[in-house]
Structure 1
Amino acid sequence: MAAVEPVVGEPAAVADLGDERALLVADVHAGIEVGLRYERGVELESRADERRDRIRSLIDQTGVDRFVVLGDLAHRVGAPEGRERDEIQALVAAVTERVPITLVEGNHDAGVAEAFADRLDVIGPRGGVLCGSGGSTGDGSGVAVLHGHTRPDPSLRSADVVCMGHEHPQVRLEDAVGGSRTERAWLRGPLKSSVFGNGDDPDGAGRESAEIGPELVVFPAFNERSGGTWINVEGESFLAPFLPDGLVAGDAYLLDGTRLGDFRRI
């Protein structure tokens, strides 16, 4: 059974791939400060150096052989340019001094794979199964990865565990006197097999199945400025096309490892 263990206190996990161990994160959103200035006129001091140092520290701390980004390495949709490209370039250079990088293409990563083709191993947006060389296999076993903005490839149905980003799960917690706070969270639970569709019905539209598929691990966003989905707020819309209906059940966990229980009942 493939193992994916969160790093306590961090929006990152270590996956045992057999002959390799990989550090996985999702939604780095490099260049977010540039994007927020362009999109909303919000001026924030860049945390590019801090993000890069945190990733390098996590790689050193965990002693992994590979770094995997579960999509949205970049923030702005489109080919990276200007200060965003500079941040990605510096991040990629700093990481590849230590270990190779695998990028699972996310909806914000248009042009990233092409721009850094000589520095990245790339897995397409519908996902793949990690193997020791940094590529993906089609045998469906082990640790599967995708971003989450599309339905997963049917070949991932027989994986032990599926890791994804895109959702940026958060929980809103309230105290007895009405105060509240929002914290990033993990979401874990078994997927319905119907999530994966099949060759004739790749979107799985209109189909129901009681068959249980692999465990899903939805990663918190690495970038704390990128917002997210309040998974325990009634009426909140999920971003992934197969959530929350595709989860048979799901538990939420805080970054410190605190288990909050069924996210539908928090």
Structure 2
Amino acid sequence: MSGEALVEPVPGEPAAVASTGDERVLCIADYHAGIEVGLRYERGVELASAADTRLARLERLLDRTAPDRLLVLGDLVHRIGRPDGDEVDELRTLVDRVTDRVQMTLVPGNHDGGVADAVPELEVAAAAGLRLGPVGFLHGHTWPARDVLRAEVVCMGHEHPAVKLEDAVGGSRVERAWLRGPLDREAFAGHVEDDGDGEGVGVGDRNRIEGTELVVVPAFNDRSGGTWVNVDGQGFLAPFLPGALPDADLYLLDGTRLGHYRQV
């Protein structure tokens, strides 16, 4: 089965449906529950909470895609550390509403250190990622497990990819975008541990990595900012990017293919 058949973006949305063989998995990244509280204490920005709007959008996606599982690619919450106050209220309401309908799994990101304690009923995978059949999932803030890299398609978050578009008269806008392309195994050599079978990642694991596609999922939260991947000087956040994705193409949420991200 091709990578495009395994992981299909939901048209118009920062979400994808992954076919893992046993399940249809709705995949989102960077929900950042409680972001308004974070913006207040981090930057002094006062915004009314959009918690209800975020949850309504997610529930419409569940209706539209009818998945067996919701999988969040990290940064379910915004606060680094244990969520508190309005943040934990939004988190608990979200988990309760989703798990009344489908199984929910979090692959934790760098903002999710306190989630497991705050909501112990939530299924939380290892930070190095999770593999479900032919699809691997990770946040992207740390080096992934080798088994994740052996998947046919690897989905990650963390980057909040966005593209800056300019028109002929100098106007510009920024839109969330997808990055997809062949995964370059060499970016992981020396950083991903052998699991004991003698087949490490890198040159020695050539046959297992060849053909793997890497998909960088745009942020679900439209208030969380992003990396303008087509603008010089905008560095990536993941320790393995851009090396692991040298030939990635950009796609808008509506499916428009813009071409190589450095040439847009």
Normalized against structure 1, the TM-score is what? 0.90
Aligned to 1:129: 131
Superposition pairs of residues 61-76 of structure 1, within 5 angstroms: 61-76=64-79
Conservation of the 8 A alpha-carbon contact between 2:81 and 2:114: yes
The unaligned stretches of length 5 or more in structure 2 are: 196-201
Aligned to 2:82: 79
Conservation of the 8 A alpha-carbon contact between 1:22 and 1:66: yes
Conservation of the 8 A alpha-carbon contact between 1:192 and 1:213: no
Specify the code of the residue in structure 2 equivalent to 1:13.
A
Specify the code of the residue in structure 2 equivalent to 1:251.
D
CA distance in 1, matches of 2:126, 2:194: 20
CA distance in 2, matches of 1:51, 1:157: 31
CA RMSD across the alignment: 1.8
Conservation of the 8 A alpha-carbon contact between 2:249 and 2:261: yes
Conservation of the 8 A alpha-carbon contact between 2:136 and 2:149: no
Aligned to 1:56: 59
CA distance in 2, matches of 1:174, 1:115: 43
Q: Find 1:91's aligned residue among 90, 94, 103.
A: 94
2:212 aligned with 1:214: yes
2:31 aligned with 1:7: no
Conservation of the 8 A alpha-carbon contact between 2:80 and 2:111: yes
Q: Find 1:226's aligned residue among 216, 224, 227.
A: 224
CA distance in 1, matches of 2:147, 2:82: 29
CA drift at 1:39: 0.8
Aligned to 1:196: 188
Query: Percent identity, aligned pairs only?
Result: 62
Specify the code of the residue in structure 2 equivalent to 1:224.
D
Conservation of the 8 A alpha-carbon contact between 2:77 and 2:83: yes
Deviations 1:156-192 (A, max 9, x none): 2220000000000000000111110000000000111
* 1:210–1:93 distance in 2 versus 1, CA, 3 Å: closer
Aligned to 1:204: none
Conservation of the 8 A alpha-carbon contact between 1:102 and 1:121: yes
Aligned residues between the structures:
250
CA distance in 1, matches of 2:163, 2:71: 25
CA distance in 1, matches of 2:203, 2:165: 33
Superposition pairs of residues 111-126 of structure 1, within 5 angstroms: 111-118=114-121, 120-126=122-128
2:178 aligned with 1:186: yes
Superposition pairs of residues 13-28 of structure 1, within 5 angstroms: 13-28=16-31
Conservation of the 8 A alpha-carbon contact between 1:192 and 1:209: no
CA distance in 1, matches of 2:86, 2:205: 48
Conservation of the 8 A alpha-carbon contact between 2:188 and 2:240: no
Aligned to 1:38: 41
CA distance in 2, matches of 1:200, 1:96: 35
CA distance in 2, matches of 1:257, 1:199: 36
CA distance in 1, matches of 2:203, 2:170: 40
Specify the code of the residue in structure 1 equivalent to 2:66.
G
Aligned to 2:253: 255
CA drift at 1:210: 11
Conservation of the 8 A alpha-carbon contact between 2:146 and 2:194: no
CA drift at 1:208: 8.0
CA drift at 1:195: 3.2
Aligned to 1:137: none
Deviations 1:33-75 (A, max 9, x none): 0010011110001100000011111001111111110000000
Aligned to 2:198: none
Normalized against structure 2, the TM-score is what? 0.90
The unaligned stretches of length 5 or more in structure 1 are: 131-140, 202-206
